């Protein structure tokens, strides 16, 4: 029974009607706003490249403590929280290769134990890439072992550039984002006017033939392929050249220059075949020993172009050497991985080229 008043209705105790309440139904998840957090850390192999990458991304390098004990062991500790982050570790395959590899393994495992949500190893130059098969009995397949170790350490993804061989991607059971510097080289040579008739794109061996053909399309030129024999490590001998090179300007490309023995053998073969001048490009310019001096002292070689995937000392860089930056390309790829966008779209779907 309700008693009316002039202003409000009163309800007697015990006679009030409860308002309907909707029963909650449990779901399969708890909805929460997106809170992805990109963090970039650098190993000690090439901190300058990592700094240029984060400048392109508009972030700061993460704080990590890396040191070497007196007995040669590596110590690693992240100096800030990485829990739930999309973490990228930049470490390239140069310098003290084995130390840098061990450092990368420890950084990945520390990130895993620190509860990073996803760990991407950014390895512009993949170490041990040339040991991708058994060429002789009782040899290891070292590139495969490195792939296994990266996955055991806890890497969720690999980001690398211009692998020595395509089958290295098959060594992984995690995603491998492969980039190529070929468009950078094509743009550079076109800016120099080295394109069209009178030019020839030369592959140093059959394994790089597809890249040479694609590069020829980029600069509107013909292409040629060299047949190479390798009697020993870091020693190459050119047997013959398939293609028309006489009277042309040759652009000779490879994935890496180490001792320069292969390139110099190719240059001598091109010289004998009647090439007017030679330009050389390689994504990774390691230049072991005095290989740079051999390039600089050869009159037929007009220029050598590499990228900064490995550090190049500007004080000892000869005039013939040009270094193209890849930090913008790496930063764009990292951002696409972070945003779950396509990586191959950056390269027009042609980032394998094997």
Residues annotated as catalytic are 228
Rounded CA Rg of the chain: 28
Report how far residue 183's alpha carbon sits from residue 195's, in angstroms, rounded to the nearest whole number.
14
- Cα–Cα distance between 271 and 285 in angstroms, integer? 23
CB 178 within 8 A of CB 169: yes
The answer to whether the CB of 86 falls within 8 A of the CB of 118 is yes
Cα 157 to chain centroid, rounded: 12
Cβ contacts of 122 within 8 Å, gap of 6 or more = 53, 88, 89, 90, 91, 159, 160, 330, 334
Q: Round to whole Å and give the CA distance between 175 and 157.
A: 5
């Amino acid at each position: 029974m309700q008693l009316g008043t002039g202003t409000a209705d009163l309800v007697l105790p015990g006679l009030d009607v409860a308002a309907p309440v909707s029963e909650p139904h449990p779901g399969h998840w708890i909805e929460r706003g997106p809170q992805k957090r990109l963090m970039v850390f650098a190993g000690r192999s090439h901190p300058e490249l990592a700094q240029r990458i984060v400048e392109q991304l508009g972030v700061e390098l993460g704080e990590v403590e890396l040191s070497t004990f007196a007995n040669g062991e590596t110590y690693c500790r992240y100096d800030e929280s990485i829990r739930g982050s999309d973490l990228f570790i930049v470490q390239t395959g140069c310098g003290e290769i084995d130390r840098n590899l061990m450092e990368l393994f420890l950084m990945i495992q520390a990130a895993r134990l620190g509860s990073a949500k996803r760990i991407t190893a950014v390895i512009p130059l993949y170490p041990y890439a040339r040991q991708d098969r058994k060429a002789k009995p009782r040899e290891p397949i070292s590139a495969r072992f490195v792939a296994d170790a990266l996955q055991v350490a806890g890497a969720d993804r690999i980001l690398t550039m211009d692998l020595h061989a395509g089958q290295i991607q098959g060594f992984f059971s995690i995603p491998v984002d492969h980039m190529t510097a070929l468009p950078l080289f094509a743009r550079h040579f076109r800016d120099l006017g080295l394109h069209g008739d009178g030019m020839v794109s030369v592959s140093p061996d059959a394994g790089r033939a597809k890249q040479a053909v694609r590069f020829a399309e980029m600069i509107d030129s013909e292409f040629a392929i060299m047949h190479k024999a390798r009697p020993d490590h870091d020693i190459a001998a050119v047997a013959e050249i398939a293609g028309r090179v006489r009277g042309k300007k040759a652009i000779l490309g490879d994935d890496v220059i180490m001792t320069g023995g292969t390139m110099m053998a190719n240059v001598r073969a091109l010289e004998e075949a009647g090439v007017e001048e030679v330009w050389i490009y390689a994504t990774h310019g390691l230049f072991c020993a005095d290989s740079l001096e051999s390039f600089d002292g050869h009159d037929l070689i007009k220029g050598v172009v590499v990228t900064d995937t490995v550090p190049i000392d500007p004080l000892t860089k000869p005039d013939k050497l040009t270094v193209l930056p890849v930090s913008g390309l790496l930063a764009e790829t990292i951002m696409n991985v972070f945003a779950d966008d396509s990586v191959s779209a950056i390269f027009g779907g042609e980032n394998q080229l094997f």
